[in-house]
A and B are shown apart, each in its own frame.
Chain A
Amino acid sequence: ETGVTQSPTHLIKTRGQQVTLRCSSQSGHNTVSWYQQALGQGPQFIFQYYREEENGRGNFPPRFSGLQFPNYSSELNVNALELDDSALYLCAGGVGPGDEQFFGPGTRLTVL
């Protein structure tokens, strides 16, 4: 039990649509990081938020954006969905940058 939950569990969208994935972390998790895990691959870092500000970003285009809220919840938004966006999206909470990250169970996004 990591104290990190994600919703929805599964999601099916059509190419070109927009999607919002949600993550809820436990009190004290001041950072939230998002990762994309394609089938058969390791997770890839999308970005991290620390106290509601973006604190680092991986090699993902601007159509991937995020928000972090004061109540330890966060969102990952993806615009103009592409087929290659189909993946498991993982959220991870942590106390601060560089601290251990606690992962949620993920949201499986399928883009048709």
Chain B
Amino acid sequence: AQSVTQLDSQVPVFEEAPVELRCNYSSSVSVYLFWYVQYPNQGLQLLLKYLSGSTLVKGINGFEAEFNKSQTSFHLRKPSVHISDTAEYFCAVANQAGTALIFGKGTTLSVSS
């Protein structure tokens, strides 16, 4: 069965600093991986996804992630964060049937000036 572990529950950073949010996955089949962002009192917005091909995936708002099969990781990065990036970030893997997303517990990114 697939699963996702987000290694940091909270990540505080200063504005314009780089950030990495860590995600490890477990899957015995081909993986489809996703990062979502959730702003306060809102639903989930897709940042980026890995389905196949290039292991470096670029998403919206300047975020990117790298799929590493040997490390079973899919870490999210941004070279310079803004105050507006403060939100909850979720890593997810699609289940084998492709009907469901299995989410991690989330990482709270707090950007301060």
Q: Name A's B-contacting residues (CB within 8 A).
A: 2, 4, 31, 33, 35, 40-45, 48, 50, 55-56, 58, 90, 92, 97-98, 100-106
Contacts and interface: CB of A to CB of B under 8 A. Distances in A.
Interface stretch (B56-64, B67-75, B78-86, B103-111): B103-111
B99 A48 contact: yes
A54 B17 CA distance: 45
A56 B92 CA distance: 17
Contacts of B31: none
B97 interface: yes
A45 B102 contact: yes
Given A42-B90, A43-B90, A98-B94, A90 B44 contact: yes
Contact of B105 (A42, A92, A98): A42
A12 B106 CA distance: 26
B45 interface: yes
A103 B45 contact: yes
16 contacts: A2-B45, A33-B100, A42-B92, A42-B104, A42-B106, A43-B90, A45-B95, A45-B100, A48-B99, A56-B100, A90-B43, A90-B44, A92-B44, A98-B99, A105-B41, A105-B43
B11 to A, nearest CB: 15
Contact of A41 (B42, B44, B97, B106): B106
Contacts of B4: 42
From B36, B49, B100, name the one whose CB has the most chain A CB atoms within 10 angstroms. B100
B98 A98 contact: yes
B46 interface: yes
